[in-house]
Amino acid sequence: MFYFGSGAISWSNKKQPTIALSNTKAEYRGATIVGCEVVWLQKLLSDLGQSMDAFVVIYCDNISSILLVNNPIYHARTKHIEVHYHFIRKEILIKEIDLIHVSVENQVAYIFTKALRIDKLKKF
């Protein structure tokens, strides 16, 4: 879900087109898909005459994915991740996007993907 000011301007909830063999790979792919949406929204806002002075923060609850994004060194265990999913690395390196860890207790995205207790629904 993307917010501009205090209002939601874009959101998505869909299955990934391929099956991930690990949580890290699934979260990494998800971060890349979100990164592509961020770039598109930035260009749209720019075309509408709205400037963005700050970089965009993406919250991720998988520490391994965050480490993989921030460490571009080749790892044998991640060689199966397709090259186009490494787009997120470039965006982080040029400081357009920042990927930050959020604990499971504070992951607002779960409202779209999990069955939550009533107290969590009210919190989010």
Note the pTM of the prediction, 2 decimals: 0.62
Q: Which residues are within 8 A (CB) of 62 and not within 5 positions of it... i.e. 6 or more apart?
A: 23, 24, 27, 28
Report d(CA 98, CA 91) in Å as an integer. 8
Going residue by residue through the chain, which has 124 residues, state the pLDDT in tens, using 9 for 90 and above.
Answer: 787 778 888 877 777 676 666 777 788 788 888 888 888 888 888 898 987 777 788 888 888 888 877 776 655 555 556 556 667 777 877 777 888 888 877 877 777 777 888 888 788 7
* Residue 85 domain flag: yes
Phi, psi of 29 (to 5 degrees): -60, -45
* Residue 11 domain flag: no
Tally of domains in the chain: 1
* Residue 6 domain flag: no
What is the extent of the structural domain holding 52? 19-123
56 strand-pairing partners = 97
DSSP H helices, 1-124, are: 23-47, 63-70, 87-93, 110-113, 118-123
* Residue 10 domain flag: no
